[in-house]
């Protein structure tokens, strides 16, 4: 080995590098990060307001018992809404007919999302009639009808609520505060209702779905017990 190489090697072995203190990387705050944080903060505040409402929390148990009793009596659940609320209605019902968390017998639930019915009825009778005629076709006394509307002012949902009441169904309204009146036209018209915190459809629908998930979980517990 060449002398200069031996000298370099000895120097490298005898003089280890000085360790450096690791630094925690910082995430720069960008306009998009700030927007994301604001959205999450708003959602957190809305959930906190819902959780602080003792009557709203108690209503989850009440509706869960109503739904469990409905299934035990051989009746079914119906659900309807527009746009994102239609998706929430479908999501709610598939977790009853399919499964939520654990295996169990399927539970009868139908969401009004049939494109054939909706387009036929809207074409022949107007869009305001799509849910009313569906309720009159399928609902029976003792069924439970869930009505989802972030504003509470959707005419087709209002007419569905009226039809369900005439038939003798229990009605559960999930509403919000996007207009001048909390809950809109549907407020105080159904046997059970939530007017959840939030002034935009997205925050309201997030709480609606959380309530529906919790109702399912509680109803399953009652049915299993």
Q: pLDDT value at position 130?
A: 98
Taking the C-alpha atoms of residue 122 and residue 185, their distance in angstroms, rounded to an integer, is: 21
Q: What is the pLDDT of residue 11?
A: 41
- The CATH number covering residue 150 comes to 3.40.50.10490
Check: CB of residue 117 under 8 Å from CB of residue 134.
yes
Asked if residue 208 belongs to a domain, the reply is: yes
CA distances to 1, 10, 69, 126 from 7, rounded to whole Å, are 10, 5, 88, 93
Q: Is residue 157 part of a domain?
A: yes
Give domain status of residue 74, yes or no. Answer: yes
In a domain, 14, yes or no: no
Tokens standing for residue 29: 């705050």
Rounded to whole angstroms, the Cα distance separating 169 from 163 reads 9
Question: pLDDT digit of tens for each residue in the chain (225 aa)?
Answer: 434 333 333 444 445 556 666 666 566 789 999 999 999 999 999 999 999 999 999 999 999 999 999 999 999 999 999 999 999 999 999 999 999 999 999 999 999 999 999 999 999 999 999 999 999 999 999 999 999 999 999 999 999 999 999 999 999 999 998 878 999 999 999 999 999 998 899 999 999 999 999 999 999 999 998
For residue 70, the model assigns a pLDDT of 98
CA distance to 50, 87, 117, 200, per residue, from 129 (Å): 32, 19, 11, 26
d(CA 202, CA 151) in angstroms, rounded, equals: 12
Residue 22 is predicted with a pLDDT of 62
Q: What pLDDT does 204 receive?
A: 97
Report how many domains make up the chain: 1
Please give the residue range of the domain that contains residue 106. Answer: 46-224
pLDDT of residue 5: 32
Q: Is residue 165 part of a domain?
A: yes
Q: What is the pTM of this model?
A: 0.86
pLDDT tens, residue by residue, 20-67: 666 665 667 899 999 999 999 999 999 999 999 999 999 999 999 999
Neighbours of 127 (CB within 10 A): 15
In a domain, 109, yes or no: yes
197 vs 48, 89, 100, CA distance in Å?
Answer: 9, 19, 25
Whether 123 is covered by a domain: the verdict is: yes
Q: Is residue 171 part of a domain?
A: yes
User: Where does the chain have alpha helices with state H?
Assistant: 3-14, 31-52, 54-72, 84-97, 115-125, 130-138, 155-167, 201-224
Q: How far is CA 135 from CA 93, 143, 164, 189, in A?
A: 15, 10, 6, 17
């Amino acid at each position: 080995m060449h002398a200069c190489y031996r000298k370099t090697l000895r120097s490298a072995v005898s003089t280890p590098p000085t360790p450096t203190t690791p630094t925690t990387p910082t995430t720069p705050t960008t306009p998009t990060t700030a927007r994301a944080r604001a959205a999450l903060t708003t959602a957190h505040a809305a959930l906190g307001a819902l959780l602080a409402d003792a009557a709203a929390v108690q209503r989850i148990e009440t509706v869960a018992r109503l739904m469990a009793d409905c299934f035990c009596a051989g009746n079914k659940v119906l659900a309807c809404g527009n746009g994102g609320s239609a998706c929430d209605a479908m999501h709610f019902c598939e977790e009853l007919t399919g499964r939520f968390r654990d295996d169990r017998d399927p539970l009868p639930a139908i969401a009004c999302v049939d494109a054939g019915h909706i387009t036929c009825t809207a074409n022949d009778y107007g869009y305001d009639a799509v849910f009313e005629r569906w309720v009159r076709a399928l609902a029976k006394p003792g069924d439970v009808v869930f009505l989802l509307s972030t504003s509470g002012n959707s005419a087709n949902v209002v007419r569905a609520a009226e039809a369900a009441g005439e038939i003798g169904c229990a009605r559960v309204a999930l509403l919000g505060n996007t207009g001048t009146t909390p809950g809109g036209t549907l407020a105080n018209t159904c046997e059970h209702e939530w007017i959840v915190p939030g002034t935009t459809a997205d925050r309201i629908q997030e709480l609606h779905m959380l309530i529906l998930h919790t109702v399912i979980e509680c109803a399953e517990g009652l049915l299993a017990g």
